[in-house]
Structure 1
Amino acid sequence: MRSTLGIAAAAASIASAQPAAARDPLVLRPTEPWTMNYGEDSCQLVRIFGEGEDETALMIEQFGPSERVRITLISRYAQLRVRPYPHYAIDRKTARSVSPPQIGVRFGKTGEAMEARVKSASMADGRFITVASAVRPTLQGPETEKEQDEPYHLPALSIDALAGSDRVAFEGLADGDLILATGPLAAATKAMNACSENLLSHWGLDVAAHRTLRSPVRMVDETVPWLNYPEQQSFERMEGLIEYRVMVDSAGRATGCHVQSGGGPNTDFGDAVCHGMMNAVAFEPAINADGEPIASYFRGTVDFRFL
């Protein structure tokens, strides 16, 4: 299902500037309204910025209710400052491992830049596609740890935190920083929250009960090794990014595993994740407001990469 949100691009206060040097920021304005793609297993906001060779696509995705998103940037300016793995896994001069590539993602003019681990690849048309996973959109500082006895709330993007944001900036790219003048993000955030919550009904779950859960599904022991790198992909030094969902019944039994994104034609990465989840992981069921176990889900991301 596909629909368009008519969200105004009120970004007149952002001065557009062409980069005079590689490190100067480039500001691109939107050329289309936000498009919301409603899937059975994901929600995706898409918007196009710039024209001609500058055309840049921004995709913001969620795979269930969450405070975090996956951001995909497709642009000639999306090239990383250093090559992604496995090309420079070892610095030959020092014989030390090089840290995984990262970029900074900043919401709003004064928001905190969040470091995000990324994957990147070149495209046939000369553009680059760069994916940053588990980004927490906020104008606040770094995330603080929650207290153990803090009540559980169905996670969602903070509309209040993003209401004052009028841009998304990407820092640490090869050609300098890139700023996308999104305009106010409150309406887009509200649409994403509604879509991600509605995914629960597609999965056959009680949405109302999940809004008032005492506790979500949890792994009984997070230290248990459950995942192996697929042998062929390891031999060929292939990498992958898998989003997955496990359905867990009221007794804590895993009843099904679904690869939500990243499977593609090669299913080995997704198969490895689901095999581990279904055979090596024990779960505690979700508990509703009345203290009773109910059917729910466990969701996660696996980043297969060489370090």
Structure 2
Amino acid sequence: MAIQYLAASLLAFASLATSAYAKDAEPLVFEPDSQWIGRYEIDHCAFVRKFKRGDETLQLEFRQYAPGRLIDIILVASDLKATGWDLKLRFDPHQTVIEDVSSYKIRSELGQDGIYATTHFAAGIDTETFTEEDLLSWARSVRALHVENAFRKDLRIETGSLEEMRLIMNHCLADLLVEWGLDKDRHIDLQRSAQITNFEQLNARMGRSYPIKALNRGKHGPVRIRVKINRNGIASDCIALASITYDALSERACKTLVKYGEFEPAIDATGVAIDSYYLQSISYFVAR
């Protein structure tokens, strides 16, 4: 499903600017150092694999919070310094460079630098006509992930084919729908996913409702939330899915979205409105 990004900001976007730095022409190549490991949580599905280059290690995680193409890519490196915001991705052998990536620097529990990025799986496939078979074919052909601007040196990660990961991920994501009390069969081939209809107004309201305590403490970053949208377009049951920020930001985002969001319900393959869900990502930040 498509996802839009609300930017809850009190000032201009100048805080996104980062300083330029020199990089080597050739990327660092990381080879697999483990098998893919599946992680099935109550609110998401993920696959994790470790890679290495000499004594350097890298952990790559693909994570999804709902069926569809939206995917989080999480990279944590043992000896690399994370850098700026202008992240670019490319899945070899495909030539499409993914530039519409929302990304943030993170730090692991072990104090290692990393990047948390959100983008769309299978970039380059027609978003209006693609089928799951198209996505599987794309995943089958992948050989490596190229990563630019995440760290002070660019990377080539030898992932190999992602087909098996995609197949297992799909089963896990279908099970998530059942856990949420939704009909997974009626979510196959939706004519329309649940949609927000007052995006611009809600975006402005999010900026005005930045929690004061979080603002005073300089707390910022991304928040991902999920709300249930019933067949009448009414929102309820908001849950914070991914937050690497401050709990008050997730709480405020949920309250604002449920109270002020206006929605159209999901439509199944037969043209009937059904109970479904809506994902929203909010970027809270304060320009310095």
TM-score w.r.t. length of structure 2: 0.80
Report the counterpart of residue 269 of structure 1 in structure 2. 249
Instruction: Summarize deviations over 1:224-282 as a string: whole Å, max 9, x none.
Output: 22423222222222212111110122222212101111167x42111111111111112
Higher relative contact order (CA 8 A, sep 6+): 2
Report the counterpart of residue 88 of structure 2 in structure 1. 104
User: 1:295 & 1:27 partners in 2: Cα distance?
Assistant: 45
Paired AA for residue 283 in structure 2: D
Task: After TM superposition, give the deviation of residue 72 of structure 1 in Å.
Answer: 0.6
Q: Is the 8 A contact 2:29 2:155 kept in 1?
A: yes
Task: After TM superposition, give the deviation of residue 198 of structure 1 in Å.
Answer: 2.3
Report the counterpart of residue 4 of structure 2 in structure 1. none
User: 1:38 & 1:122 partners in 2: Cα distance?
Assistant: 22
Q: Is the 8 A contact 1:111 1:138 kept in 2?
A: no
User: 1:196 & 1:78 partners in 2: Cα distance?
Assistant: 32
**Does residue 216 of structure 1 match 2:216?**
no
Determine which structure has more spread, i.e. the larger CA radius of gyration: 1
Structure 1 residues 196 and 78, CA gap change in structure 2 (3 angstroms): farther
SS across alignment from 2:165: helix
User: 2:243 & 2:79 partners in 1: Cα distance?
Assistant: 23
Q: Which one is further off, 228-237 or 294-303?
A: 228-237
Structure 1 residues 192 and 67, CA gap change in structure 2 (3 angstroms): same
Q: Which one is further off, 297-306 or 64-73?
A: 297-306
Q: Percent identity?
A: 22
Task: After TM superposition, give the deviation of residue 64 of structure 1 in Å.
Answer: 0.1
**Does residue 233 of structure 1 match 2:210?**
no
Structure 1 stretches lacking a partner, 5+ long:
1-20, 83-100
Report the counterpart of residue 161 of structure 1 in structure 2. 138
Alignment equivalent of 1:185, drawn from 162, 186, 207:
162
Q: Which one is further off, 183-192 or 153-162?
A: 153-162
**Does residue 281 of structure 1 match 2:261?**
yes
Structure 2 stretches lacking a partner, 5+ long:
1-22
Report the counterpart of residue 114 of structure 1 in structure 2. 98
Q: Is the 8 A contact 1:63 1:243 kept in 2?
A: no
Structure 1 stretches of 4+ moved >3 Å = 121-126, 143-146, 153-157
| Superposition RMSD in Å | 2.6
Alignment equivalent of 1:257, drawn from 238, 242, 248:
238
Q: Is the 8 A contact 1:217 1:248 kept in 2?
A: yes
> What pairs with 1:122-133 in structure 2 (closer than 5 Å)?
122=107, 125=110, 127-133=112-118
Alignment equivalent of 2:49, drawn from 47, 52, 67:
47
TM-score w.r.t. length of structure 1: 0.76
SS across alignment from 1:224: helix
**Does residue 291 of structure 1 match 2:248?**
no
Report the counterpart of residue 85 of structure 1 in structure 2. none
Report the counterpart of residue 149 of structure 2 in structure 1. 172
**How many corresponding residue pairs?**
260
Structure 1 residues 22 and 197, CA gap change in structure 2 (3 angstroms): same
